[in-house]
Amino acid sequence: MNNPLLQNWDAPFGAPPFPLIKPSHFKPAVEVAIESASEEIKAIAENTELPDFENTIARLERSGETLGKISSILFNLNSAETNKDLQAAARDVSPLLTRFSNDITLNEKLFEKIKRVYESRETSALNTEQKILTEKKYRSFILGGAGLKEVDKKRFREISEELSTLSLKFDENVLEETNSFELHITEKADLAGLPESLTEAAAAEAASRNKKGWVFTLHFPSYVPFMQYSERRDLREKMLRAYSSRAFRGNESDNRNIILRIVNLRLEISKILGFSTFAEMILGDRMADTPEKVLNFLEELYRASKPAALRDFENIKKFAAEAGHKGAVERWDWAYYSEKLKKKLFEIDDEILRPYFSLEKVENAIFGLATSLYGIKFIKTDKIPVYHPEVKTYEIYDSDGSFLSLLYIDYHPRPGKSGGAWMTSYREQRNEEAKEVRPFISIVTNFTRPSETRPSLLSFNELTTFLHEFGHSLHGMLTKCTYESLSGTNVPRDFVELPSQFMENFAFEKEWLDTWASHYETGEKIPDEIIKKIKEASAYNEGYSCYRQLSFGFLDMAWHTITNRTETNIADFESSVMAKTELFPVIEGTNMSASFSHIFGGGYAAGYYGYKWAEVLDADAFSYFKETGIFNKETAASFRKNILEKGGTDKPGKLYVSFRGKEPSIDALLERSGLNKL
């Protein structure tokens, strides 16, 4: 087979040749790449020289380059532009990759060499980055079963291979359930309250499905504004029930058994490795390095946010009653009355703001912000192969003209794309034998599409989402490390959200909005009064939002701190965990866990608390920018040097103090969110 995955890529910068790649290429390419990588591993393990950092840790770090390239393409495409054939390829390949990974970490000769280097790391004249990499490799071997007896190694292999396919199936089910629902409206009266921008998009969606009228989906650009503006309470209920029951409907896409299987296997593998819970195993190298620290942190924020959450909820209930609402305020009422009260209090809502946030202007503004802060330049190019015609590509250069990165951006929802937004990479940065390899970074979102009469106009939440993912991208693009495993976003999970959440702060700053936000039709600059209202509304319902986010953190930790095998009813388990943060009546037939892809399909298991943890860091960091000036070159240079460029080459706390000059304080977060003003 003429397999492009195994050939030299002659696109500019060695970019992946997406148009040439077919799902059928992946398995044979992976098999060949594994065979080649296995020879590299064998050579390291059987090397007769005394093990040291260079001949063991560094050589292991550089092994399997082709396999890594192929894997990143497969799994990134499986999230951004998948189909049944690609999903099947991912399912076929995943056990092979897990088996190969196990072959490495369970290789006794190799582990002995790793262990020797690890035990002598303090006396071997290693620099900090080399020590960190050595510790990371050693920990990965320990968690990979290196110290196990043979009988346990066998079971370890079985569990890890099964887990690799279960997480794929979990996400496949969520995507299938998201795509399979539609709310088809044929009567114009049923559109009451919906903005024209949304109904126009819904009409286009209906036409694309060869239907008359309007079609609304569970993808965010359709679902969120429908819940905010539809006056038809029964239809809001229908939409919310559909969204909240994804993969929980008793059909072939139901995730209940998969969840139980995943948590039980995670517990079993943790106990095999000598830990009492999966969370204990996972958190060992985090800033919050024990389950107790995480739970204490969540409890602290819970106590701080509870009065504000109850206040926010009572305000909505009171407003809804004054607006004529009868009976209890249900979850499908929250976004609707919340948006109406926001407009009453602050005279803004998403539909007032959207005209000032055309996607083209937002993109230029965010790129311009990066140029202002860090001096980097963005050059659009059509010479880089892409996996879908909608993907845009940019070459990124530093202020001295040196090449930094390729950037792929994929903005709009499609049936083959998972929900949400994320940053990922097709190649990570490393410095290999004095030759620097620069990264290929990708941003994938599900933003509002343009229509026949207007460009893509973003909601304020979409604006902050763009800033968030772009912050991750800067972490990936600006990194300057020696080893790929430590570069860019390869940092502890509760530190990785600092650069992303830090960038969101600019959305509330007049000094930045004044430089670009203007009406897409008239060109009128965004009025000062609107910017003032954005700032005033920044803490609106923040108590409730914090409460809601904490509920997900508590749920994640509950699933991953079980100490005994469970066959629990997942609805009952979830309800008991979230009861302390639940303000609405429980809705039968709905479930968060069944579509909680962050922890069952992605890498945030026992790590979802990290979003709130990083909020403390980002609020404190941005307060420093506010003190010195939000475009201050020296402050930005320090943030770049100590945070964005360093990746995981030192302990996160040390990197943060190097930037900030002191430990982070929770005070800035409490001030920003208004939780200290009750």
In eight-state DSSP terms, residue 248 is: -
Identify residue 456 by its one-letter amino acid code. S
Contacts of 327 (CB under 8 A, 6+ apart): none
CA distance 302 to 107: 45
CA distance 323 to 195: 20
Using alpha carbons, select from 484, 426, 444, 390 the residue that is nearest to residue 21.
Answer: 426
Identify residue 262 by its one-letter amino acid code. I
Q: Are 184 and 242 in contact (CB under 8 A)?
A: no
Contacts 24+ apart (CB under 8 A), 120-126: 124/52, 124/53, 126/53
Beta bridge partners of 377: 397
Beta bridge partners of 411: none
Helix ranges (DSSP H) in 514-588: 528-536, 542-559, 570-578
Using alpha carbons, select from 496, 125, 571 the residue that is nearest to residue 579.
Answer: 571
E-assigned strand segments in 467-608:
none
Residue keyed to tokens 């029964």: 234
CA distance 473 to 479: 10
CA distance 99 to 76: 20
Contacts of 356 (CB under 8 A, 6+ apart): 517, 518, 519, 520, 526, 530
Residue keyed to tokens 């530093």: 398
Residues 304, 305, 311, 315: what is their CA dihedral angle, to the nearest 10 degrees? 160
CA distance 67 to 398: 30
Cα Rg for the chain, rounded, in angstroms? 25
Q: If residue 216 lies in a helix (H) or strand (E), which one and from where to where?
A: strand 214-216
E-assigned strand segments in 467-569:
none
N-term to C-term CA, the chain: 68
CA distance 513 to 535: 11
Contacts of 288 (CB under 8 A, 6+ apart): 294, 297, 494, 609, 613
Give me the count of residues in the chain.
678
Contacts of 123 (CB under 8 A, 6+ apart): none
CA distance 577 to 555: 6
Q: Is 347 a catalytic residue?
A: no
How many other CB atoms are found less than 10 A from the CB of residue 43?
12
Helix ranges (DSSP H) in 181-290: 196-208, 220-229, 233-244, 256-272, 278-282
Q: Among residues 81, 280, 469, 615, which one is catalytic?
A: 469
Q: Which residues are designated catalytic? A: 469
